[in-house]
Amino acid sequence: MDRRTPPQTEEGWYVLHDFRSIDWDAWRNAPEHRRSRAIDEGVDYLAATERLEDADDGDSATFSVLGHKADLLVLHLRPTLADLDALERRFEHTELAAFTERTDSYLSVTEVSGYMSQDYFDEDGEVEDTGLKRYIESRLEPEIPDAEFVSFYPMSKRRGPDHNWYDLPFDERADHLSSHGEIGREYAGRVTQIISGSIGLDDFEWGVTLFADDPTDVKELLYEMRFDPSSSRFAEFGRFLSARRFPPENLGAFLAGEDVPQESAHPHGSSERGHGRSHGHGDDGSHHDHGSDSHHGDDEDDGVRSELEGIGVYAGKPHGEDVHAVVLYSAADPDELFEEVDGLRTNFDHYDTHVKTAVYEPSEGGDDAETAVVSLWETDRAANTAAGFLADLPDVVRQAGDDEGDSWGTMGMFYTVESEHRTDFVDTFGDVAGLLADMDGHRKTDLLVNRENEDDMFIASRWDSREDAMAFFRSDAFSETVEFGRDVLADRPRHVFLA
């Protein structure tokens, strides 16, 4: 008997799609005080789940379902089934639950398999590709994108007499999935997916949840995938449900039949949960930092800003700057990296919120020289979505904002140098770099140049500790650099959020 060996899987967070219909007759006939209580308790419940008051990890989101299949979708991701069980029962204790009926639900768990990386499952194996490792982690513990539109459907692989997925050799199945994935990558920046396994948990074998700001992007992606053999020969689908995300505090507008704003007046989103990092620059364009490549808490960020302000350095605001950024460092060949980034940038340009994406190369090479990719967006939501695609770039060694407990990073960005002063700027950086090399706690400082505009630069430094970096900001050498920057920069550097 020829028995196929199933690829190994590893599971992450459990996923519950909870679809509810509203009893509109009961809602219309209910007294005002009861409806008001239902809205208040519903907002409290939904907002608490999005703030993760019930768990240390996971994510939740609320959606208005389009069509007759349901009215409301509450999507939960949590580390354990017990977490989901408690959330379901807690909802039933709200007054809102009395006006709802569950029309559907789907239970699954995030997973990665040997199709993605066999090294991940080999004994003593290790995934050396940082980008792949980051992608695997994002698949196991995904963040719900802040996109407006969501499409959910369950699916299974066909086991018919003519086409049986499970009778194919592993290599053939892997080739099919690789080809399928290539189509998905063409929609990077436009469509984000959460794929979760449901064998033994629900009626189909997987649940697929697709997020986008433009629903036609999802339509185009799925239409193109229908012609791929992985779908045309081997896929069977359940019904599709589509919805629009809204903040919990807009539940009253949803129930009143009014336009439901997609933005929150008091957001419970990612910026309150530590996904953002504020990085800014002084009016003079000097190289100062106000944050770190480590996960410092809000209190420490505020302390850094206050301390810098005390020595006359503006370090950016904790929230509300005019652009948001993702910064990654890669050891890949710059030409290869630029080609990959240029492909992503083409997709990013479909969005009005995209400001720019560029590759910055070290002005001088070296054994430890790293190329940086900077992607700027008008919203934190868009920046965090883009980060998921950028993390899959080749040879990513770290993302600014990642935890590096043994060091402290500083970044000064958007030095647009007047062309006639470019050489002066580079020479002055060399002089400052020489001084930095002799300072206690200084590890490295790089001047990086936009490969498409040599007058656009930024400076990244790494220190043993925050105190070591602050010693430089208090130095005469730094003050002299500030004065020099006023004369040679073409315009005021922009303040950014670092997602």
Mention every residue, 6+ apart, whose C-beta is less than 8 A from residue 395: 129, 130, 131, 330, 331, 332, 337
Q: Which two tokens stand for residue 357?
A: 């994406």
Backbone angles phi, psi at 355, to 5 degrees: -90, -55
Question: Bridge-partner residues for 10, per DSSP?
Answer: 112
In angstroms, rounded to a whole number, what is the distance separating the alpha carbons of residues 278 and 233? 48
Transcribe 275-298 into DSSP letters: --EEE---TT-----S--SS---H
Extract the tokens encoding 402: 């990642």
Computed from CA positions of residues 315, 318, 321, 324, in that sequence, does the dihedral angle turn out positive or negative? positive
**Phi, then psi, of 204 in degrees rounded to 5:** -110, -175
Catalytic residue list contains 153: yes
Token pair of 202, please? 């629900």
Cβ contact 131:392 at 8 Å: yes
Retrieve residue 405's tokens.
């407990």
295 CB-contact burial (10 Å; exposed 0-12 / middle 13-18 / buried 19+):
middle
From 45, 135, 153, 187, the catalytic residue: 153
- Phi/psi class of residue 37: alpha, beta or left (left: φ > 0; alpha: ψ in -120 to 50)? alpha
Residue carrying structure tokens 């989103």: 269
Neighbours of 364 (CB within 10 A): 13
453 strand-pairing partners: 450
183 closest CA partner among 193, 173, 172, 168: 193
- Catalytic residue numbers read 153
